[in-house]
Homo-oligomer: A and B are copies of this chain.
Amino acid sequence: MSFSYVSHLECPKCQEVYPEHEVQQLCQCGSPLLVRYNLNEIKANLKKEDVTTRKGNLWRYHEILPVKQEENVVSLDEGMTPFVHMKELGKKMDIKNLYIKDEGIIPTGSFKTRGASVGVSKAKELGVKQLAMPTNGNAGAAWALYAAKAGIKATIVMPEDAPTITRKEVAISGGDLHLVNGLISDAGKIVGKLVKEKGIYDASTLKEPYRIEGKKTMGYEILEQLNWEIPDVILYPTGGGVGLIGIYKALLELRELGWISSEKLPRLVAVQAEGCAPIVKAWQEGKTESEFWENSETSAFGINVPKALGDFLVLEAIYQTDGCAVAVSEADLSQAQKDVAELEGNFICPEGAATFAAARTLREQNWINADDKVICLNTGQGIKYPESVDLSNVPLLQPEDVITG
């Protein structure tokens, strides 16, 4: 038995192949690269029941992850996040089998952790000493903390108006943090120059091939938590789209391994905000790539991505699974965040709330049936987004006061 059955890297656009034991960034054609495995060997050596009894973190799937030597694994025991049937909210939405997969309950508090754990581990295996990335917050926080654990220097550049809490996560890790008086695109340019001039590892979204492998484990876990029975619909908040790309990749791999039935896949839904919906527009127009969304705006800053490098992969996942793409309003998103907390006790992030708002819309349109098994992905913790809660109506008492009810 090998620890990993990784085989090579492959370009999904031009099919060019690259070895996995050397540092690779984008394909020469400009596309992100995907990691391939010897799935037939895994199929012969590993049963899904073997995985189930392992420790409850994402590394239980190590044969289908890209790290070859176990000692290179950089782990904070992340993964196997909560998976809960939401009975009350399901009643209200007339979706009996509504589930949350809660990615807020993971080290660093967002799904970015999965990409960081696998990405940093593989960087360590490849001998990387320094990495650099632009970020709007959560990804930078996750990569900085995992890089610290790995002994890799992390240069993180974020816009001055990115959330303060993520800045603090980078700072306490001892990471090389820089703020920029500009947008994430400005941060990207600064990182681009640094990478080019100093030969530093570029950890920008999809410019390294391994974060997808971390994020695909959300797909493995959902299926394992459903006892390998395929759900009907999975809704994902879509900015860069790596989570959705990863889940689709996971489904194809599980099918090839024979761990799930080959009849149908869940319908994948890309959820965006009305103020930034390039994937929705492309899907509505039947296109295979998106266009840059001008003057994008949404309170769910994690899905404020006007043009994603992997947009064609997101659209492929939607088309291939008979899925769809939906944009939700800021008001619906905010209401969904409240409903989830009041009925189910989860304090979720605005991006996660968007998936519940979208599920309600799709149910109203009968695109989702009342009996469908529906999974909403919450990508981060509400407490990382304190501005999403209004405290203006909270009464202030004096010590001698009395509460009457």
Which residues of A are at the interface with B, using a C-beta cutoff of 8 A?
A: 52-53, 56-57, 74-78, 80, 82-84, 88, 102, 105-109, 132, 145-146, 148-149, 151, 155, 157, 160, 164-165, 167-169, 171-174, 176-182, 186, 189-190, 193-194, 198, 337-338, 341-347, 381-384, 386, 389-391, 394-399, 401-403, 405
Contacts and interface: CB of A to CB of B under 8 A. Distances in A.
A78 B345 CA distance: 12
Contacts of A53: 52-53
A186 B399 contact: yes
A241 to B, nearest CB: 25
9 contacts: A52-B53, A148-B343, A148-B345, A172-B341, A173-B347, A174-B342, A178-B395, A180-B397, A383-B384
A148 B146 CA distance: 35
Given A165-B386, A346-B76, A395 B179 contact: yes
A182 B399 contact: yes
A398 to B, nearest CB: 6
Q: Which of A77, A78, A172, A383 has the most CB of B within 10 A?
A: A172
A190 B182 CA distance: 49
A265 B271 CA distance: 52
Nearest to A81: B77
Given A157-B397, A190-B397, A383-B169, A149 B345 contact: yes
A394 B194 contact: no
Contacts of A171: 389-391, 394
B341 A396 contact: no
A345 B76 contact: yes
B396 A180 contact: yes
A349 B164 CA distance: 17
A402 B193 contact: yes
Given A84-B76, A179-B395, A181-B399, A346 B107 contact: yes
A289 B338 CA distance: 44
Contacts of A157: 397, 403
Contacts of A160: 396
Given A155-B403, A165-B383, A397-B181, A343 B83 contact: no
Kindly list the 10 A-B residue pairs having the minimum CB-CB distance in the complex, ordered from nearest.
Answer: A77-B82, A149-B345, A168-B389, A186-B399, A174-B342, A145-B345, A182-B399, A172-B341, A56-B56, A180-B397
A368 to B, nearest CB: 23
Given A168-B386, A179-B394, 18 more contacts: A52-B53, A77-B82, A77-B84, A105-B106, A107-B346, A108-B347, A146-B345, A148-B343, A149-B343, A157-B403, A165-B383, A173-B341, A173-B347, A177-B394, A178-B397, A181-B398, A182-B398, A383-B383
Nearest to A197: B402
Contact of A401 (B109, B176, B190): B190
B386 A172 contact: no
A380 B345 CA distance: 18
A82 B77 CA distance: 5
Nearest to A337: B172
Contacts of A169: 347, 382-383
A198 B396 contact: no
A383 B178 contact: no
Nearest to A189: B399
Contacts of A108: 347
A105 B107 contact: yes
